[in-house]
């Protein structure tokens, strides 16, 4: 049977439309949102190609960043701007800003992008944000110089590391009150929550170690020595690998979560800070502040896969990769 020219043309149009559909941003691989403190911007990496596909201007001296569980909402803390920038995580555009306080640093967002939590470094509280209305609805007093934040999967708990109090607090999101506290190593900064194993990890900058706590009670489990000036933590390979950035060593320490032992140390860029795992569980992205780059690691084979140029002073402190 001979196909008519009209049918051939229609088939070509349909194929082109299908190709366009698959290449639109909504079909793209997860994005990594990298804050660049030196040029007041966010570099957006398409993790399918491991390259920057867009750069957004945000507020003054951005540092912290968090993506909601549905990937639609991104919050960026502007450490010198006293506000957070709200970014559309699907359409990759700035939506506006929300005033928060004197020293916004760590940030976390719930699963639906409805509520945000911001650690105020100078005023020692956690701001609670209602994201749809773009306003602060509460301030929760915590320890001195709060930094890292993480929200539980069911949105009922928030953990915060208090750097200058050498402690971690657990907040109930219904009452917005602190319900547990625990002393850890010196100057805890980044934290990570492993809900499968019921653990919380804290990177302790001055004591050069990681505290392992019971997530439900904050009771101590173990302390592990890592590199020089550990800063942030990510979980990869279904939580079997705990990876910690060491600022002064230009490395990451790799912890085996089953044995709770450091099993390897990998070189990355200069002065690594933020770290996050890809949804595939295997790739890990590390923001290198002094190298203006992101290192991509294989958490299973424990090797460097790629280095991606970004902006000036890449920090990306928080959960910066969309689901």
Q: Indicate whether 23 belongs to any domain.
A: no
Q: Indicate whether 157 belongs to any domain.
A: yes
| Cα distances (angstroms) measured from residue 317 to each of 33, 36, 313 | 10, 10, 12
Q: Indicate whether 25 belongs to any domain.
A: no
φ, ψ for residue 226, nearest 5 deg: -130, -145
Residue 22's contacts (CB-CB under 8 Å, 6 or more residues apart) are none
Q: Indicate whether 163 belongs to any domain.
A: yes
| Cα distances (angstroms) measured from residue 217 to each of 180, 199, 220 | 7, 10, 9
Tens place of pLDDT per residue across the chain (323 aa): 344 444 444 444 444 444 443 344 444 679 999 999 999 999 999 999 999 999 999 999 999 999 999 999 999 999 999 999 999 999 999 999 999 999 999 999 999 999 999 999 999 999 999 999 999 999 999 999 999 999 999 999 999 999 999 999 999 999 999 999 999 999 999 999 999 999 999 999 999 999 999 999 999 999 999 999 999 999 999 999 999 999 999 999 999 999 999 999 999 999 999 999 999 999 999 999 999 999 999 999 999 999 999 999 999 999 999 99
Fill in the DSSP letter of residue 56. Answer: E
DSSP 107-126: EEE-TTSSEEEEEETTTTEE
Instruction: Assign residue 233 the CATH number of its domain.
Output: 2.130.10.10
Fill in the DSSP letter of residue 321. Answer: B
Q: Indicate whether 236 belongs to any domain.
A: yes
φ, ψ for residue 307, nearest 5 deg: -125, 125
Q: First and final CA of the chain: distance in angstroms?
A: 47
Question: Total structural domains in the chain?
Answer: 1
**In angstroms, rounded to a whole number, what is the distance separating the alpha carbons of residues 315 and 191?**
15
- Structural domain of 161: 31-309
């Amino acid at each position: 049977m001979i196909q008519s020219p009209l049918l051939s043309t229609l088939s070509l149009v349909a194929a082109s439309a299908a190709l366009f559909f698959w290449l639109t941003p909504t079909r793209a691989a997860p994005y990594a949102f990298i804050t660049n403190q030196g040029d007041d911007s966010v570099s957006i990496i398409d993790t399918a190609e491991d390259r920057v596909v867009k750069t957004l201007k945000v507020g003054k001296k951005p540092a912290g960043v968090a993506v909601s569980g549905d990937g639609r909402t991104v919050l960026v803390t502007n450490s010198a701007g006293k506000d957070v920038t709200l970014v559309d995580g699907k359409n990759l555009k700035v939506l506006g800003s929300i005033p928060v306080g004197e020293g916004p640093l760590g940030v976390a967002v719930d699963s639906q992008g409805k509520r945000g939590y911001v650690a105020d470094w100078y005023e020692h509280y956690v701001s609670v944000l209602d994201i749809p209305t773009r306003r602060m609805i509460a301030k929760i007093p915590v320890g001195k110089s709060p930094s890292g934040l993480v929200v539980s999967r069911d949105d009922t708990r928030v953990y915060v590391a208090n750097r200058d109090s050498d402690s971690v607090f657990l907040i109930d999101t219904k009452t917005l009150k602190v319900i547990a506290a625990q002393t850890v190593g010196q100057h805890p900064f980044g934290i990570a929550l492993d809900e499968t194993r019921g653990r919380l990890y804290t990177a302790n900058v001055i004591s050069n170690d990681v505290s392992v706590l019971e997530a439900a009670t904050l009771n101590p489990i173990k302390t592990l020595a890592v590199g020089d000036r550990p800063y942030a933590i990510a979980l990869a390979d279904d939580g079997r690998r705990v990876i910690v950035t060491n600022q002064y060593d230009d490395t990451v320490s790799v912890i085996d979560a089953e044995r709770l032992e450091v099993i390897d140390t990998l070189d990355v860029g200069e002065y690594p800070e933020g770290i996050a795992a890809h949804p595939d569980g295997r790739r890990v992205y590390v923001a290198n502040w002094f190298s203006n780059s992101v290192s991509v690691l294989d958490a299973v084979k424990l090797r460097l896969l790629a280095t991606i140029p970004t902006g000036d002073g890449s920090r990306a402190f928080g959960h910066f990769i969309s689901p």
